[in-house]
């Protein structure tokens, strides 16, 4: 790598840090939940979502952070055309799985903290019942949306001439034959992401509203120690979910804003493409760190928190994130 190229130096350092954090952190989160599954023979709904979310983030890091890091350090010809298609397809699918599961997590937490008279109350039983059906539908949705981009992925072009309407990922290219395919593919991803972002933002706003109302009633909860413990666990879980949603909205908001801008130009500047990819990938590092420090089942494996009494653990298991 030519160290005189400032952009390449910063790119290499940024993606190297993301890789060093995201891969071990996501592996650890998956291990913690799988260990719990083996030990207790079950996982709570929120834990299943978080475990699958960490797996999605891990696949994203393997398919994007590592190639970007190697490319920034000067490695070339990482993939052939087939490798590019598979790598891009996996990244696009699990990127969609990441946003849809974050939305599902915020929705489920909103359902858990909603009062029994709320219109969301019936979903307390329905979401766990249809959880795997929902996850399968996410895979089908993002496979359908991104199959065209995967088919238009290439490792290189003849004479190294990059045609118009091409996304340059440095290690692979996504080239569309015309402006219609270029714009329609981008808008399909943009509006799908926007739907999930608006939904998770609405659910997070609802959670914050309930937490505000809860703060006014906290004195009455002190009369019951068990009620206080359960309420505290519920509040911690809700705050963790709101934190994840807020971070996701910021990171992927920047990603989608740049993506939308790129649809208005024939050739996307390499620097702009690098910034977009960085913000599309940073969540894979931040998400597991938040989970490690906020989820009792996970941070107990690192002994970040003292073991809770059995009764308290039973109360907390229903909603901790």
Q: What is the average pLDDT across 247-272?
A: 78
pLDDT value, residue 251: 86
What count of other Cβ atoms lies within 10 Å of the Cβ of residue 230? Answer: 18
Which has more pLDDT, 266 or 243? 243
Query: How far is CA 45 from each of CA 16, 57, 129, rounded to the nearest angstrom?
Result: 33, 18, 9
SS3 label, residue 265: coil
Question: Measured between alpha carbons, how far is 174 from 181 in angstroms, rounded to an integer?
Answer: 11
Mean of pLDDT values over 185-211: 87
Give the model's confidence band at 321: pLDDT under 50 very low, under 70 low, under 90 confident, else very high.
Answer: low
**Banded pLDDT at 220 (limits 50, 70, 90):** low
Residue 292: is its pLDDT beyond 70? Answer: yes
How much is the pLDDT for 232?
63
pLDDT of residue 318: 47
Handedness of CA 227, 233, 237, 239 (dihedral sign): positive
Task: Give CA separation, 242 vs 106, 108, 181, in Å.
Answer: 7, 12, 36
Q: Is the pLDDT score of 301 beyond 80?
A: no
Mean of pLDDT values over 216-244 = 64
Can you give the pTM of this predicted structure? Answer: 0.85
Mean of pLDDT values over 115-124 = 85
Residue 226 scores a pLDDT above 50? no
* Contact in structure between 214 and 236 (CB atoms under 8 Å): no
pLDDT band at residue 309, thresholds of 50, 70 and 90? Answer: very low
Q: Any residues with CB less than 8 A from the CB of 74 and at least 6 apart, and which?
A: 1, 2
pLDDT at position 249: 86
Q: pLDDT value at position 311?
A: 41
What the block records as the tokens of 291 is 């989970």
Q: Domain coordinates of the chain in residue numbers?
A: 6-316
Of 104-118, 180-194, 255-269, 278-292, least confident by mean pLDDT is 255-269
Least confident of 181-185, 262-266, 282-286: 262-266
- For residue 306, give the DSSP letter: P
Give the gyration radius of the chain's Cα atoms.
21
pLDDT in tens, 156-186: 887 777 788 888 888 888 888 888 888 888 7
Considering the domain 6-316, what is its CATH architecture? Answer: Up-down Bundle (1.20)
Look over the chain and give the mean of its residue pLDDT values, rounded to a whole number: 82
Instruction: Give 252 or 225, the one with higher predicted confidence.
Output: 252
Instruction: Write out pLDDT tens, residues 46-60.
Output: 999 999 999 999 999
Q: What is the mean pLDDT of residues 101-113?
A: 92
């Amino acid at each position: 790598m030519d160290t005189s190229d400032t952009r390449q130096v910063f790119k290499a350092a940024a993606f190297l840090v993301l890789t060093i954090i995201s891969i071990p952190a996501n592996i650890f989160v998956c291990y913690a939940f799988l260990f719990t599954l083996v030990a207790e023979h079950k996982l709570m709904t929120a834990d299943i979502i978080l475990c699958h979310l960490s797996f999605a983030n891990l696949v994203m890091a393997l398919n994007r952070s590592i190639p970007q890091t190697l490319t920034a350090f000067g490695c070339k010809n990482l993939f052939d055309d087939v490798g590019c298609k598979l790598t891009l397809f996996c990244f696009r699918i699990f990127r969609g799985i990441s946003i849809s599961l974050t939305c599902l997590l915020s929705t489920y937490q909103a359902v858990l903290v909603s009062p029994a008279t709320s219109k969301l109350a019936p979903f307390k039983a329905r979401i766990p019942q249809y959880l795997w059906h929902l996850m399968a539908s996410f895979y089908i949705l993002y496979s359908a949306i991104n199959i065209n981009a995967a088919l238009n992925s290439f490792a290189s072009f003849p004479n190294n001439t990059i045609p118009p309407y091409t996304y340059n990922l440095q290690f692979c290219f996504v080239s569309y034959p015309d402006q219609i395919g270029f714009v329609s593919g981008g808008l399909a991803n943009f509006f799908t992401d926007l739907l999930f972002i608006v939904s998770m933002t609405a659910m997070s706003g609802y959670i914050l509203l309930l937490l505000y109302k809860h703060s006014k009633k906290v004195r009455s909860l002190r009369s019951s120690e068990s009620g206080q413990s359960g309420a505290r666990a519920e509040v911690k879980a809700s705050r963790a979910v709101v934190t994840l949603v807020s971070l996701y909205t910021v990171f992927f908001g920047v990603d989608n804003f740049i993506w939308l801008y790129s649809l208005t130009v024939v050739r996307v500047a390499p620097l702009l493409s690098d910034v977009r990819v960085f913000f599309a990938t940073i969540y894979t590092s931040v998400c597991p760190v938040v989970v490690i420090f906020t989820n009792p089942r996970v941070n107990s494996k690192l002994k970040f928190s003292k073991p809770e009494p059995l009764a308290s653990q039973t109360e907390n298991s229903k909603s901790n994130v």
